[in-house]
Structure 1
Amino acid sequence: MVEQTVRAIAEAIAAGAPGGWTQAELHATAGRGGSSTTGGYLPRPSGFHRGVAAPHQQLMQLAEALGQDRGWEPVSMEFRCLPSGEYRFTAFHDAVTRVSGGMNGFEAVLDADVRLPQPGLDQPASTAAPAGDPELAAARFRAYLERRAAILGHPEELPPPATAADIAEAESRLGCRLPADLRALYEIADGDGVGYDHRYLFEGCAWLPLKSLVAEHEDEQETRPWYGWDLEWDAVVFDATPRDTVRRCGDHPGWLRFATPEDGNYLAVDTAPARAGRPGQVIWTGRDHNDGPGYVADSVTSLLGHYLDLLDQGAYDKRGDYIALREPAREHAPQEYIGGGVPEEVAPSLQAVHINDVPGPVDLTPLSAARGLRRLHLNRATTADLAPVRGLPVESLRAGLTGGDLTPLAGHPHLASLDLATIAPADLTPLRTVPRLRGLDLSAADIADVSVLTGLTGLRYLALDRRQWSALLDGAGAPPALAAARLTDTDATLDEALAWAARLGLDTAGPFRTGGSWRP
């Protein structure tokens, strides 16, 4: 069945080829309910990623068959076809996969259990007392319900209170106590849903019953999202506003999700705030907050006071039997800049700067005013001097360097990832003193001595081209703690990638290969 399906896909690739084609390739990863593809025809008349159809159903059939036979889930595949009719198919499990999007080549995962640490885990903890007041919270909540009832013309049906035993069991499973003001609300009602009908009391969010709060917490600890090394190696988690109130994490065990707009986002109470935060503060987390949580209020008590103020101001809409509060527009200090040069006025609140398509070297000196800058990316742009980066808390740096001097980065206390391009040989020695450096892409750099990389004992991710990898592996060898790597050459084949990954220590024995001719 596998050979027949492979041939059918090869025939379809050839049938869809443009005139004058010399080669076609299709790379796919399939399994776990989905497939992704990239590839195209040579020569590239209208872009390499256009023209090859993505046969989802057939790819899933291949993945299922190979999964049953080899135990692979998902499966990495490569088709190569020629106008002569010859085709070649190679498959392996997803430890070696083709990368696409803004990246090229193949990625090898050497240790599937490694995850990069979140910066918020090292932030100093708050020593402040909670801002919430359980008695005041309960009084405000009852007043909130009374005013809503007056607007609607009837009281809203809510479930009965959680019992003391319910709360004790929930806290035992959570491993911590609920903030006292949130606990006081559960002593009034166990959420705001009766059956599947919620009242959406918290900012358009369904207030979860205790059982669901606990289940969300346990599920999140078990299925914390990881988006793959191609996305995570240079990821940055930004500060909330105000700064240092919430830990810089995509998620944290101390965040208890108690309400949701049912779109993958959540209001949570924070039981492990950062230095300037308060225990029990309310934050946003979830699907749209992987790059950093959002601060809402110092407590549930304060949030309820805010809701009462909105009702007093008439800042709400009555929609049938529901009330939607109208949050006032807030002026937020700019946190990200994207442009064709350094901004004329550098806001101190900037945490990310993307400088794009600048023909000459960019002077980074004005960015010294961005005291909280975490990400600095020069895309198709260069600089002659990295010295201004020395005094900034930049964690992710992408830069084209007209020279090769990395001395300004020596000992940088925050730098975690570096994507470097150079036109002159770069001495990597200063990187040995960067304590948090975890990821490097040097595929566009001229490296004076690749053996320096072997001494980067904390490096987890490394991207090089085949020439650089050969020099490194033929000499001193790969960095000892490497968990993922990328072979960046666009024309690399899966077979070449498997041989490269084997040199890195990955067991690449037993790939599936077949081939033939689609011509009768």
Structure 2
Amino acid sequence: MFRATTATIHTLCMLALAGCQPSSDGRDHGQMQLDACVAEACTTLNLDGYGMRDYNAVAGLAHVTSLMVSYTDFADLSELAAMSQLRELHMGMTEVTDLDGLAAFPNLEVLHAQYLEPQSFAPVAGLARLRELAVGSAGLDDLSFVAQMPALHRLLVVNSVQGLDLSPLAGHPGLRALDLRASDGMDLRPLLTLPNLQEVALSRIGEDIDPTQAQVVAQLRARGVSVDLDAIVVPVC
């Protein structure tokens, strides 16, 4: 799951965020990472917090199957379109607003696209092999695209509109793990219809769960689902 469960909330949040944020080396460090990856023919290229002056330089690395560009100025998926081999793409907290370019990555199994403000998350539904997805934006008010992704196993919703409607998840055959970090006001009853659900995390730190949600939590636990009501909200790169 996308969570940690200890009492040191503030410390963990600050450390995790520091690990994602740019350092003083900035793009020069990103170039160093790229150069090292080329020399080693690496499969994972981590540019989180650093970025590149020209992301087209990354696109030619056919040996890279996992790319991380979170917390950078990356903005245009077309610059990476040649990387159809990618299995993981981490691009949270970037400047990407158009997700239509995801069609260039049919082999993706993991996509982290949280803290974005895209025109729509609908293009994500075209990723037939996706197993793990992190999404979230201030305007996220529709999860209907998830219903079109039966192979999805893990879903993280970082932030969304108040009381996000979970009904599009009802009966989803693949979901095993859910992390709902904006759980306030959500009707959790659709979770009771998920046949393979194993884990749920709700970020309700310092709050009393309302009676309706408490009843759903009790029913989930009675089915053997692990429900964490004290999930620590940490940045996801």
Deviations 1:420-477 (A, max 9, x none): 0112234322222223111101132338632101142221111113635x5232x544
- Name the amino acid aligned to 1:445: S
- Name the amino acid aligned to 1:423: A
- Name the amino acid aligned to 2:179: A
Paired residue for 1:38?
6
- Name the amino acid aligned to 1:348: A
Paired residue for 2:235?
none
Aligned ranges for residues 459-474 of structure 1 at < 5 Å?
459-465=175-181, 467=183, 470-473=185-188
CA distance in 1, matches of 2:159, 2:182: 12
Q: What TM-score, normalized to structure 1? A: 0.32
Q: Which protein has the bigger strand share?
A: 1
Is residue 16 of structure 2 the alignment partner of residue 48 of structure 1?
Answer: no
Deviations 1:45-88 (A, max 9, x none): xx8349xxxxxxxxxxxxxxxxxxxxxxxxxxxxxxxxxxxxxx
Is residue 62 of structure 2 the alignment partner of residue 354 of structure 1?
Answer: no
Q: 1:37 to 1:375 in 2, by over 3 A?
A: closer
Pick aligned residue for 1:406 from 121, 138, 148: 121
Unaligned runs of 5+ in 1: 1-35, 41-46, 51-100, 104-329, 509-520
Paired residue for 1:381?
94
CA distance in 1, matches of 2:158, 2:5: 24
Q: What TM-score, normalized to structure 2? A: 0.64
CA distance in 2, matches of 1:443, 1:379: 10
Q: Which has the larger radius of gyration?
A: 1
Paired residue for 1:456?
172
- Name the amino acid aligned to 1:334: C
Match of 1:353, SS state, is strand
Paired residue for 1:332?
40
Paired residue for 1:504?
220
Aligned ranges for residues 477-496 of structure 1 at < 5 Å?
477-478=191-192, 479-491=194-206
Q: Does the 8 Å CA contact 2:75/2:96 hold for their aligned counterparts? A: yes
CA distance in 1, matches of 2:218, 2:126: 33
438-447 or 480-489, which deviates more? 438-447
Match of 1:397, SS state, is strand
Q: Does the 8 Å CA contact 1:443/1:488 hold for their aligned counterparts? A: no
Aligned ranges for residues 76-155 of structure 1 at < 5 Å?
none
Q: Does the 8 Å CA contact 1:404/1:426 hold for their aligned counterparts? A: no
Deviations 1:330-379 (A, max 9, x none): 953232222233634121221111113235x6211112111211111124
Large movers: runs of 4+ above 6 Å: 496-500
How many residues align? The count is 187
Higher relative contact order (CA 8 A, sep 6+): 2
Match of 1:504, SS state, is helix
Is residue 109 of structure 2 the alignment partner of residue 395 of structure 1?
Answer: yes
Paired residue for 1:371?
84
- Name the amino acid aligned to 2:145: P
Unaligned runs of 5+ in 2: 18-37, 225-237
Q: Shift in Å at residue 401 of structure 1?
A: 2.8
